[in-house]
Structure 1
Amino acid sequence: MLKGTFSSQLVVSDVERSIKFYKENLGLDLILGPTEPLTGSKLSNALKIPDVNLRMALFKVGESALLELYEVINPKPETNEPISINSIGASRINFVVEDIEATKKELEAKGVEFFSSIKEFEGRKWVVMSDPDGIGLELVQLTE
């Protein structure tokens, strides 16, 4: 039935600021964007958002995954705060790294904020950081 994950999507407040963060700090490859505003009835119907107007960027993550960033221009988002991880619909993207300690140290030197120290749980080390909108992103190192 399901064969894998194609992409992950995040709604951000400023697509250009987010492009800079994901490209310069995380080293992701930008393959599209930022786009001019996208709109129209087909897009509105597909997203079930009347009169939607958005800009996007698309990154390649690893060998085959994609990360899509959307800045919704219209209608304005209902909140400027990220969804709390204990809320229905909340999600978190987990990025696999080879050396979590070195990666965390490198990102901290670039000013990236981390929510905690590195934790260990059932064959992996993990830590949560924040993107420019306060969206939690997880770094994971598999240890087994």
Structure 2
Amino acid sequence: MHHVALIASDYERSKDFYIRILGLRILAEHWREARSSWKLDLAGEGGLQLELFSFPGAPPRPSRPEACGLRHLAFRVGDLDAERRRLEALGVELEPVRLDEFTGDRFCFFADPDGLPLELVELASPRSPSLVRA
């Protein structure tokens, strides 16, 4: 997978969240005059990129309960408890830690500024590089 694209209802708020809170880094940022839209390219540790867009008047997308389409974005962390403490100190509300009955992975959910479901996952055995700093 190369990238995931998101449309934010409040571009500056989401930009702050993904950079300051989740620790993604800016690759490029462009104002697209013809669309009255920002496009921000972000990257994490594992090489996966996130494209953040702004579009005036974009309609909301249902995400719960279990709407069809994208279910959530998962970010691998090395230490789930430490990352939870870091995010909670920044005001992020997280659901309780769960255990995947098949893989043994520990995980929890939280939301981005638009309510998009996000997941932190601590793998029971290493399978891929981390996307956010741990």
Q: Which has the larger radius of gyration?
A: 1
Q: Which residue is 1:88 aligned to? A: 68
Q: 2:97 aligns with which of 118, 122, 132?
A: 118
Q: Which residue is 2:17 aligned to? A: 21
Amino acid at match of 1:78: P
Query: CA separation in 1, counterparts of 2:112 and 2:75?
Result: 13
Q: Which residue is 1:8 aligned to? A: 4
Moved over 3 A (4+): none
Identify if the C-alpha distance between structure 1 residues 96 and 38 changes in structure 2 by more than 3 Å, giving closer, same or farther: farther
1:63-91 CA-to-partner distances (Å, cap 9, x unmatched) read 42100111112xx2223x65325112233
Query: CA separation in 2, counterparts of 1:22 and 1:142?
Result: 22
Identify if the C-alpha distance between structure 1 residues 28 and 82 changes in structure 2 by more than 3 Å, giving closer, same or farther: farther
Identify if the C-alpha distance between structure 1 residues 88 and 53 changes in structure 2 by more than 3 Å, giving closer, same or farther: farther
Query: CA separation in 2, counterparts of 1:83 and 1:109?
Result: 26
Amino acid at match of 2:104: G
Q: Is the 8 A contact 1:15 1:57 kept in 2?
A: no
Q: What percent of counterpart residues are identical?
A: 29
Q: Is the 8 A contact 2:9 2:114 kept in 1?
A: yes
Q: Which residue is 2:109 aligned to? A: 128
Aligned length in residues:
123
Q: 2:31 aligns with which of 36, 45, 49?
A: 36
CA RMSD of aligned residues (A): 1.7
Query: CA separation in 2, counterparts of 1:61 and 1:8?
Result: 12
- Normalised TM-score (structure 2): 0.82
Q: 2:49 aligns with which of 66, 82, 93?
A: 66
Q: Is the 8 A contact 1:82 1:134 kept in 2?
A: no
Q: Which has the higher contact order (CA 8 A, sep 6+)?
A: 2
